[in-house]
Amino acid sequence: MAEDTIFAKIARGEISADIVYEDEVCVAFRDINPQAPTHILVIPRDPLSGLTDPATTPETLGHLASVCVRVAHEAGIADDGYRVVVNAGRNGGQSVAHLHFHILGGRAMAWPPG
C-alpha cells in the first residue's frame, strides 16, 4: 500500500480539489499544474502506490480507464482526441506515490514524450 500522500488526503476529502467526477472506487480532479488546457487526474480511493503495487488489480485499472473515457467526454475533449498517461516509478516520472491516470486534452500532443 502507498504512503499517505496528498492524493490519499484528497480521496478522503481532507484536502480540497477541483473534483469533476467521483464514485465508490475513484475520484477525478483537475491537476493543480496543468500541462494542457484540460488536465485531469483520476485516482483510486484505495491508496495504491502505482501501476506496480501488488494490490493494483485489473478490475481497478479497467475502472479507472473507463472513467478516463467518461471524464474526457464530459470535459469536451473527446471529439478532438486526448492522451491518457500513467507515469510509473522514477524513470517514468511519477512524483506522487498514489496511482493516478493523467487525462490531457485541448491541444495537439507531441510524440515522443519527454
Active site residues: 100
C-alpha to C-alpha distance for 75 and 77, rounded to whole angstroms: 6
For residue 103, the cross-strand partners are: 40, 84
Give the count of beta carbons closer than 10 Å to the beta carbon of residue 75.
20
- Shortest approach of ligand AMP to residue 55 CB, angstroms? 18
Closest distance to ligand AMP from the beta carbon of 7 (Å): 7
Residue 24 or 90: the one with the smaller Cβ distance to ligand AMP is: 90
Residues in contact with ligand AMP by the rule CB under 6 A: 6, 17, 31-33, 41, 87, 93-96
Q: Please state the closest distance from residue 16 (CB atom) to ligand AMP, in A.
A: 9
Cβ atoms < 10 Å from Cβ of 27: 22
Handedness of CA 43, 45, 47, 50 (dihedral sign): negative
Which C-beta is closer to ligand AMP: that of 91 or that of 95? Answer: 95
Nearer to ligand AMP, 33 or 91 (CB): 33
Round to whole Å and give the CA distance between 78 and 86.
18
